[in-house]
Structure 1
Amino acid sequence: MSDFNRTDFTNSSTFILLGIPGLEAAYIWISIPFCAMYTIAMLGNFTIVFIVKREPSLHEPMFYFLSMLAVTDLVMSTSTIPKMLSIFWFNSREISFSACLTQMYFVHSFSAMESGILVAMAFDRYVAICHPLRHSMILKNSVVAKIGLAVVLHSGILTLPYPLLARQWPYCRTNIIPHSYCRHMPVVKLACADISISSYYGLFDLFSEIGMDVVFITVSYTLILRAIFRLPTKDARLKTFGTCISHLCAISALYIPDFFSSLTQRFGHNVPRHLLILIVNVYLLVPPVLHPIIYGARTKQIRGRLLQLFTHKET
């Protein structure tokens, strides 16, 4: 390949994001639900953070973790959706190599943080149900802060090799990414080099973060269910289990779309590419949209405070 055709992307170069190839004619219609979902996600998660911050009675471990989840959802959706909408509305497809790597890092690190926070929330539910008298002693504010810091550092450090490895590969095939944002594998597949290290590290990161998080959540809820079934009455069992419903819904909102997206990408060979990309894009917005709705509807403290705010405004 000639030097003219070879593109050195390590020097102020750009990638071209195609958006959703094959659905260009429908971009305006596609952008409407995406914009609506992004608006709902922003308003909902900001409201969660605002209410928890303003209401002293919500200054408890569960709501601290919920605020962290809301901030994670805000950052994760904001790192991708505005650029996606600019492609749909203004055909703004260019993204610099550095911005692409930054977006890649934010998407993968905050996705891992979201999973880690759900593990922390599962631990909170375990302590609250299995050791209720020691809950305030075990999950003090300092412990909650340390858990939050551990989740951030763990996710941030394990995701760091993604952009570092991607930066070192030579890119000479094309700068066109058949996607609407910079994901790890779609980017490194453009490299004209052996990317086995990036591929293997991606699998290692998947199993060491998401895989282990699922194991910890499963163990936590196994112990929780065992404690619930030991309660003397059916009403007590239902009431105690009811405190876990919101968290279980949040877990489902994250892992079920992720699981479905991973399966369709790996085994959906007969599925059109534009449908696969659309599914991945929708997955980015499902958890940020559903989490505030789930906790707003299921958590009476948040629901009550929200109604109180609107009532005061009306009066």
Structure 2
Amino acid sequence: MSEEASQKYRIPVIERMVDVFALLERTPEGATIREVVKAVKLSRTTVYRMLNTLSAHDFVHRSPAGTYTLGRRLLTLAAHVAPNVASYDLLAIAQPHLNQMSDVTGEGGKLTVLSGDEILVVAASQGRGQYALTASAGQRLPIHAGAAGKILLAFSPQEDIDRRLSKLDALTSQTISDPARMLEELALIRERDWARDTGEQMVGVHAFAAPVRDASNAVIAAVSIPFVAGVDERRVEEIHRTVIATARTISKDVAEASKDELAADIPMTAEPSANKHSSAAKRSNAAATKGRVSHIKA
């Protein structure tokens, strides 16, 4: 389709809405209505009505100061889109396992993904323990300070790691702010396949995290449990084991969902003779065997 034809079948108001989302994506601290008007080149009244409508559906959020940021409704949409645009539903797969993890440990848990130079909580489970820490979808956290962030950083492309090494702000006395030390920490995380936070993001709060992988073994998210420092070592080890087991179970289910989708996409063709049916079945079985997901790294 030519560019002219493509433009003909577009809706201008939706184009402007996309411009609004793009602006707010670039300004996580929030944009004023004046800045939005300038970006989308529409009247202030039109922009106000557009933002008010988006805010009513929680696609954007208006702060008490009058600035606009992306809304939490987008998290729900994003969590239903796999990184490789497959049709499996990451949030639907992960949430029951997060809930079970919290039932077992009594601690709150969360699922996080990369979001620019930060990590974003896209799903959470609430703990029942007296000192359980809570998280909620929509929280943005630093990528370099915290177990989940370090998991996602460790398995990022090297060029992304190198770029982020210049932004290692010290949040506590335990935060790793030295690039050389961080590289050592990331190498250890890749070797272990899990990460620990000993108060790097918040004094008195520790955490364990483990990676969630897709069918190609790429890391797409991190499962973690933050907990109050000072618990006995037996409890610490229970949290550690449960986080790893939960991440592996979610990874397995993601891989299975991908296999199911692949099988559903294989065309079924009727052939007249029994021999042809047998041959088709053999080809189908061979294709399924070839597409099996490799064993998740122990």
Per the normalisation by structure 2, the TM-score is: 0.24
Higher RCO by CA contacts (8 Å cutoff, separation 6 or greater) = 1
Task: Give the structure with the larger strand fraction.
Answer: 2
